[in-house]
Amino acid sequence: MTERGNNKTLVLTGLLIGLIFAELDETVVSTAMPTIIRELHGLSLYGWVAGIYMLAVTMFMPIIGKLADLYGRKRVYLSCMALFITGSIVSGLAPSMTWLLIGRGIQGIGAGGLMPLALVIIGDTYPLEQRAKIQSLFGPLMILPQLLGPTVGGYLVGHVNWHWVFLINIPVGLVAAAVLAKGMRESRGEEKRSIDWAGAFTLVLGLLSLLMAPVLIDNQGLSWSSPLIIGLLVIAALLFIILIRIESKAKEPIIPLHLFRNRNVVVLSLLVFTLMLGIMGGVALFPFFAQNVMGLTPTVSGYLMLAFMAGAVPSSILNGFLITRVAYRSLFIVSFILPIVGFYLLTQLNVETTMMYIIVSFFILGLGLGALFGGDNLIVQESVKKEHSGIALSTVQLFQALGATIGLSIFGSLLSRNISSGVLSLKDQLPEGTAEHIATDGIPAGIAPELLNKVQTAFSESFQSIYTISLVFVIIAFVICWFLKKEVLSKKEPENEAVPTMSA
C-alpha cells in the first residue's frame, strides 16, 4: 500500500468515530441494563448480555484479521461496521432477551474487527513516525467512552427509551463508514485466495470452549474445579492441538504458524496476556473496595480511577515520540518498573487508606502501563510483513482479550471467596443471611461501628491478597520485557512492503 490516494484526515476521522462509538456502546449498555432487564423480564440472563458480546469479539478477532489480509482492509472493516450496525438494529428492536442476545452476538462479531483493523489501516496510511504519535493517542482516547457512557446511557433511558441505547449506533455507524469510504482508496489483486475453513471452524470451537469456562463461572455460579469447567478446558486444549496440525498444512492458514517464530510477536503476546491476566481483575474490582471500605459513591469511585489515565496519557504520548528514537526494549523495561511500585502500594490498602493514596498509586500505574498504548501494536506491525499485519495484530489482541477475560473471572472468584472466608467468623453478629451475600452485594447499611470496622478489615485483607497476586504478575511482565529485541523502530525497506497498492 502507498499513501497516495488516501485522504488521511477523512480516514482517521472515520476510524475514530467508529472506534469511540463502539467502545461507548459498552458503557452505555451497562448503564441501561437494569431498565432493559426489567422490561424484558430477563434477570436470569443478565450476565449473558456481556458474556455473548465478549465471546463473539474474541472468537472472531483473528479470523477477521486474516480476512482483511486476504481481501483488503477497507472491504472487511466496512463489513465489520455493517455487522455492528445490524446487531444494533436487532438489539434495539429486541422483543425478548433471546433477540437481545442474538443482537449482541452480531454486534460482537463486528466489534472484533474494528480495533485491530483500525490500527492496520492507520499503519497502511501514515508513515512510521506519524503513526507512532497517532497510535500513542488511541489508548487515552478510549477513555472518552468511559467518561461519557454513564451520562449518555442515563439520559437515553430517562428521557427517550432504552431502545435508543442501541439504535443511536445506526446513524453514527453510517457516518463513520461513509467518511472512511470517501477518504480511503484501495485496490486489490484479482487472484483467487483460499480460506482455511477447517482452521477457522476449529479455532472458533476452541476459543468457545475456553471462554465458556469463565462465562459459566460468572453466570452460573460454577467453580474452576467443576467437572464441566475442567471438561471445557480439556476440550479447548485438544482443539488447539488439532488447530496446530491443520494450520501446519493449510495453504492460507487462519493463524500462520510462522508468526510464532517471530520473537516480538511471541514476546508481546506473552506480555499482554500476562498483564491482562494479572491486573485487569484487580483494577476492575477496585470500585467495590472504594464503595465498601472508603465509603465513596459508585460515581466517585469510578472517577477516582481516572488517576490511572492521568498517568497513562502523558506516558503514552511521550513513548509515541521516543519509540522511533530509543530502543523499545529499553522503553518497556524502564516503564514497567512503575507498575511494580504501583501494585506494591496497592498491597498496603487498609481501612485508613486515603483518596490521595489511591490517586498516587493509580497515577504511577498509568505512567508505567502507558507504554503499551499503541507501543505494542506498533512494534507488531513493524515486526512482520505488511501482508501479515492484520492477523499479527489480531493475534496479539486475541491474547490480550483472553488474558483480560480469564483474569476478570479468576480475580472475581478469588475476591468473593476471600471476603466470604473473612466474614465467616462474624456470621453470628451479622443480620441473618448477610454473610452469604456480602461478598457480592457489599456491606449492608446499619451495622454497628465496631462490627463495621471488622467487616471492612476483612475486605481490606482480601484486596491486599489479590493485589499481591497482581504484583507477582507485573514482576513477571517486567522480566518478559527483557526478551524484546534491542532495536529502534525504523521504516521498513520497500521490498518488505510488497502488498496491494492504494490508488486514487
Q: Measure the CA–CA gap between 137 and 317, rounded to whole angstroms.
A: 6
Rounded-to-integer distance, Cα 185 and Cα 75, Å: 11
pLDDT above 90: residue 242: yes
Q: What is the DSSP string of 190-222?
A: -S-----HHHHHHHHHHHHHHHHHHHHHHHH--
Q: Which range, of 63-77, 260-274, 441-455, 457-471, averages the lowest pLDDT? A: 441-455
Residue 267 pLDDT greater than 70, yes or no: yes
User: Stretch 346-350: mean pLDDT, rounded?
Assistant: 91
The alpha carbon of residue 232 and the mean position of all alpha carbons in its chain are separated, in whole angstroms, by 23
Distance set, CA 79 to CA 2, 33, 193, 298 (Å): 22, 27, 18, 37
Cell of 156: 437515553
Q: How many Å separate Cα 477 from the centre of its chain?
A: 18
Torsion region of 500: left, alpha or beta (phi above 0 gives left; psi -120 to 50 gives alpha): beta
145, pLDDT greater than 90:
no
For the cut 70, the answer to whether the pLDDT of residue 68 exceeds it is yes
CA angle 306, 312, 315 (to 5 degrees): 150
Q: How far apart are CA 235 and CA 216, in angstroms?
A: 15
pLDDT tens digits, residue range 423-476? Answer: 777 766 666 666 666 766 677 776 777 777 888 888 888 899 999 999 999 999
Of residues 12, 73, 64, 123, the one with CA closest to residue 381: 123
Could you write out the three-class secondary structure of 30-55? Answer: HHHHHHHHHHHCCHHHHHHHHHHHHH
Lookup result for grid cell 470500585: 287
Cα–Cα dist 297/290, whole Å: 8
Q: What pTM value is reported for the model? A: 0.82
pLDDT at 231: 92
Neighbours of 178 (CB within 10 A): 15
- Residues 6+ positions from 90 with CB-CB distance below 8 Å: 99, 102, 103, 106
CA distance linking residue 205 with residue 293, whole number of Å: 42
How many CB atoms lie under 10 A from the CB of residue 374? 26
- Taking only the tens place, the pLDDT of each residue in 151-207 is 777 777 777 778 888 888 888 889 988 988 888 877 655 556 677 888 888 988 998
Buried b (16+ CB within 10 A) or exposed e, 215-236: bbbbeeebeeeeeebeebeebb
Nearest to 63 by CA among 1, 21, 117: 117
Say if CB 338 and CB 494 are below 8 A apart. Answer: no
